[in-house]
A and B are shown apart, each in its own frame.
Chain A
Amino acid sequence: MTSSNGEPLVRLSGVNKWFGELHVLQDIDLQIARGEVVVVIGPSGSGKSTLCRTINRLESIEKGEIAIDGVKLPDEGKQLARLRSDVGMVFQSFNLFAHKTILQNVTLGPIKVRGTSKADAEKRARELLERVGVSAQADKYPAQLSGGQQQRVAIARALAMDPKVMLFDEPTSALDPEMINEVLEVMIGLARDGMTMVVVTHEMGFARRAANRVVFMDGGRIVESADPETFFTNPTSDRAKDFLSKILNH
């Protein structure tokens, strides 16, 4: 309940993480304001997914501090679970609960974590499924849906918790090309509605259309951070220039 005014919603300061010998995150400082949409891009192995996953502590960090809405991430246990419930997460591989129907996937969090009544949770879930365009599939199981539909359900599942911030970890990387847009449209809608978002993606079109800021990572460091227009037309670092020349010129 510390919704202070000037305080950033997400604050990473001096974050370091190692996978064994590999220094995957090096002195990361990043602040994300309320309502801001930050797109994180970079080559494979640059640490961008790991960065995304540290924000709700699916990955622990060795050094530094992460705070959400002014509250430092606790180590484990109930408090961490409570904090995670305020941070929505959408995974590359959807991770819908395979043994639950679409509707149950969306109501599970509110019922189990927030203690919402089943009726209220279902009403809200149907609204959200309507919003992401899969309301007709409510009683099916995840395996019966296309990848694009599953990912939109995953977004609805995260939204059902009324999160303060949404994390997207390469949400379209596992999708067939023709299904990418239906997911991106939902995400652009969310951005328009003022959701605070951290999006790890290779979709430069999304970055241009929806991002307030692009963060470019390489070798576990944030190399560059700028608004999309500046970043795409006039990147300052050689590494970013090189990266953009490879992905934009074909």
Chain B
Amino acid sequence: MSFLADNFPLLRDAFLTTLSLAVVSGICALVIGTLLTAMRVSPVAPLRGAATFYVEIFRNTPLTVVFFFLAFGIVEIDLQFPTRFITAVAALALYTAAFVSEALRSGINSVPPGQAEAARALGLDFRQTLGTIVLPQAFRTVVPPLGNVWIALAKNTSIAAGFAVTELTAALQRLTNENANQLLLVFLAIVVAYLVITLPSAWLIGVIERRTAILR
């Protein structure tokens, strides 16, 4: 146990890095994903096309490849993110946004079309109809699938380990390299650290799901 205490600063920093990777890219993914979804249901065909193209590209590309591209690929066109952390956030957010958009779109499809029709008949424009009537109802039905996306994102942060961000999985690699005899203990500590993020999330998702359950 003294081994864990000795390495506490590393583990703590790694945990906080993982957590902030997940939270920051989660928020960005939610924003981008919502915009993408708005584009995908808009009456403007080029917007629909562009958003669908985006989603299909990112949904069907391995996350590691997205990381590679943002870390090294864009240097070719003289672009670079200021820090490795930001590179990781960008990769995670751009990738996860595609899944957020898919979840939201399925939620929008679950809102009866009569709801949007009634809003349009009142004189609400496209943005108001989407923002006041359709999305709030869609968000409620997408809590479970968005929860899955969030948990997947929390675990996907581990890819950043391969791109020189010292988060939990990188800490795992470093500690096991240096302390081969403590392998199980290190594994245990890292798994517990991930669970500290994902288990309360799963519980919270359940609470939100019950709170927002919609009356039909």
Chain A positions within 8 Å of B, measured between CB atoms, are: 56, 58, 76-78, 81-89, 91, 93, 95-99, 108-109, 112-113, 141-144, 154, 157-158, 161
A244–B53 CA distance with the chains assembled, in angstroms: 54
A142 contacts across to B, CB distance below 8 A: 215
**Does any Cβ of A come within 8 Å of B120's Cβ?**
yes
**Contacts of B132 on A, CB cut-off 8 Å?**
108, 112
Which of A81, A141, A143 has a CB less than 8 Å from the CB of B120?
A: A81
Identify which of A56, A76, A89, A99 contacts B214 (C-beta below 8 A).
A99
Mostly, the A contact residues are: mixed
Say which residue of B124, B140, B215 sits within 8 Å of A112 (CB atoms).
B124
Q: 17 A–B contact pairs at CB < 8 A? A: A78-B125, A82-B123, A84-B121, A85-B122, A85-B123, A91-B118, A91-B121, A95-B117, A95-B118, A97-B118, A97-B119, A97-B133, A98-B115, A99-B214, A109-B123, A158-B122, A161-B122
Q: CA of A180 to CA of B90 in the docked complex: distance in angstroms?
A: 57
Q: Is the CB of A109 within 8 A of B216?
A: no
Chain B 98-138: CB-based contact to A (< 8 A → 1; otherwise 0): 00000000000000101101111111110010001100110
Q: Which partner residue on chain B sits nearest A92 by CB separation?
A: B114
**Nearest Cβ on chain B to A50's Cβ, whole angstroms:** 14
Distance (Å) between the CB of A182 and the closest chain B CB?
A: 21
Tell me the smallest distance from the CB of B198 to a CB of chain A, in Å.
29
B200 interface hit (Cβ, 8 Å): no
Contact at A77–B214, with CB atoms within 8 Å?
no
The answer to whether A113 touches B137 (Cβ under 8 A) is: no
Bound form: Cα–Cα A93–B137 in Å:
18
Residues of A within 8 A of B122 (CB): 84-85, 108-109, 112-113, 157-158, 161
Chain B contact residues: over half helix, strand or loop, or mixed?
helix
In the complex, the answer to whether A93 meets B114 with C-beta atoms within 8 Å is: yes
Cβ of B9 under 8 Å from chain A: no
Query: With A and B bound together, what is the CA distance between A85 and B118 in angstroms?
Result: 11
Q: Do A77 and B114 touch (CB < 8 A)?
A: no
Q: Which residues of B lie under 8 Å from residue A98 when comparing CB positions? A: 115, 137, 214-216
Chain B interface residue count, CB cutoff 8 Å, equals 22
Residues in B whose Cβ lies below 8 Å from that of A144: 215
| Residue of B122, B124, B128, B215 contacting most chain A CB atoms (<10 Å) | B122
Which residues of B sit under 8 angstroms from A154, Cβ to Cβ? 118
In the complex, whether B82 has a CB less than 8 A from a CB of chain A is: no
Q: Kindly list chain B residues whose C-beta atoms are within 8 Å of the C-beta of A93.
A: 112, 114
**Interface pair B214/A95, CB less than 8 Å apart:** no
CB-CB < 8 A to A108: which residues of B? 122, 132
* Alpha-carbon distance between A93 and B115 when the two chains are bound, in angstroms: 10
Contact B137 A112 (CB under 8 A): no
Which residue on B lies nearest to A142, using beta carbons? B215
Residue B62, interface by CB 8 Å: no
Q: Which residues of A contact B125 (CB under 8 A)?
A: 77-78, 81
Contacts of A84 in B (CB 8 A): 120-123
Closest to B43 in A: A76
Residues of A within 8 A of B43 (CB): 76
4 A-B pairs with least C-beta separation? A85-B123, A95-B118, A143-B215, A95-B114
11 extra interchain contacts, Cβ-Cβ under 8 A, other than A85-B123, A95-B114?
A58-B121, A84-B121, A84-B122, A85-B122, A91-B118, A95-B117, A96-B118, A97-B119, A98-B215, A112-B122, A157-B122
A96: chain B residues at CB < 8 Å are 118
Assuming the A-B contacts A97-B133, A99-B136, A99-B140, are A58 and B123 also in contact, with contact meaning beta carbons closer than 8 angstroms in the complex?
no
Q: How many angstroms from the CA of A154 to the CA of B115 in the assembled complex?
A: 12
CA distance A134 to B108 in the complex (A): 30
Closest to B140 in A: A99
Query: What is the bound-complex CA distance between A109 and B115, given in angstroms?
Result: 13
Asked if residues B136 and A81 are in contact (CB atoms below 8 Å), the reply is no
Cβ-defined contact, B124 with A113, below 8 A: yes
A88 neighbours in B (Cβ, 8 Å): 121
